[in-house]
Amino acid sequence: MKTGTRPDIAVTTPNAKLRLSAQDVIADYRLAVRSRAASELSRREVLVGNAPFGISGEGKEVAQLGMAHAFRAGDWRSGYYRDQTFMFAVGLADLSQYFAQLYADPDVVRDPNSAGRQMLSHFATRILDERGRWKDLLASGQSASELSPVGAQMPRSVGLAWASKLYRDSPAPRTVARGFSQNGEEVCFATIGNAGTSEGVFWESLNAAGVLQIPLVISVWDDGYGCSKGSGATRTGPASSCTP
Ligand SMILES: Cc1ncc(C[n+]2csc(CCOP(=O)(O)OP(=O)(O)O)c2C)c(N)n1
């Protein structure tokens, strides 16, 4: 049966707010397969010496597709180097840009994340145009630039989510400039690895987010390892048990 003739089956549970058509599920599956192939190819390119460094998001595809369905224009991602599937799914990166960054392409059009200056999977959206003027940040989703030190994205994620609250609570910032916030409705989506949750800044950020009551979603991609160390070497239980 051709895809176009399939009935539009909603994949959902009784209480779920997210409804996916059969076409959505097939599109997600295609994206996951492409993303996995990109991971494997980039790894091979590093191993044979064609690229200087590669790091990718094998195994996190499905969780990131789920996160992508909740992400809206104006929202911010503040994550780490495993998020390529999410970035592809929300249209903030593509395969061509992924490989341009792998080969450290200095052309900012081909690698808009960093013009070859950052390592692979260090994503960023451009918030200024070519003349240095602010872009309309509400026109699409945004991604803060990747920080290589493990956990460093966490305090920044608090700042981004806190900004939304400030916009929501006070009319003053809204009158200064347009294109930054729609009445503070933007959510910040932070991501971090399980070993990264051992960093002090992770706990400080979690605490600050609770105290400030800000719109911050934290996803921990728990694959049981931090580099080659098993989780038991860095914490006493699964990452899920650490989250209040
Ligand atoms: C502050 C800091 N210490 C050490 C490193 C080296 N390092 C890079 S990735 C990594 C492991 C991170 O593991 P995890 O957070 O579980 O993420 P994963 O890569 O397994 O998804 C480490 C220790 C680093 N980048 N920054």
- Which domains does the chain carry? 11-242 (3.40.50.970)
Q: Of the given ranges (1-15, 42-56, 107-121), which has the lowest mean pLDDT?
A: 1-15
CA of 235 to the centre of ligand 1 (A): 14
Query: In which element (H, E) is residue 6 found?
Result: none
CA of 143 to the centre of ligand 1 (A): 20
pLDDT of res. 12: 64
Summarised one tens digit per residue, pLDDT across range 198-233 is 999 999 999 999 999 999 999 999 999 987 788 887
Task: Report, as an integer, the average pLDDT of 187-200.
Answer: 96
Please report the atom of ligand 1 found closest to the CA of residue 222.
16
φ, ψ of residue 78 in degrees (nearest 5) = -135, 90
Evaluate if residue 175 carries a pLDDT over 90. Answer: no
Q: List pocket residues of ligand 1, CB cut-off 6 Å.
A: 82, 148-150, 193-196, 221, 223, 225-227
Pocket perturbation via mutation, ligand 1, pick of 227, 228, 231 by most ligand atoms within 8 A of CB? 227
CA of 151 to the centre of ligand 1 (A): 8
Q: Which residue has the least CA distance to atom 13 on ligand 1?
A: 226
Q: Which of the pair, 11 or 125, is modelled with greater confidence?
A: 125
CA of 194 to the centre of ligand 1 (A): 9
Asked whether the beta carbons of 188 and 71 are under 8 A apart, the reply is: no
pLDDT of res. 240: 54
Q: Which residue has the least CA distance to atom 9 on ligand 1?
A: 227
pLDDT of res. 243: 45
Q: Is the dihedral of CA 176, 177, 182, 188 positive or negative?
A: negative
Q: Is 211 exposed, middle or buried (0-12, 13-18, 19+ CB in 10 A)?
A: exposed
What share of the chain has pLDDT > 70, as a percent?
91
pLDDT of res. 45: 98
Asked whether the beta carbons of 238 and 231 are under 8 A apart, the reply is: yes
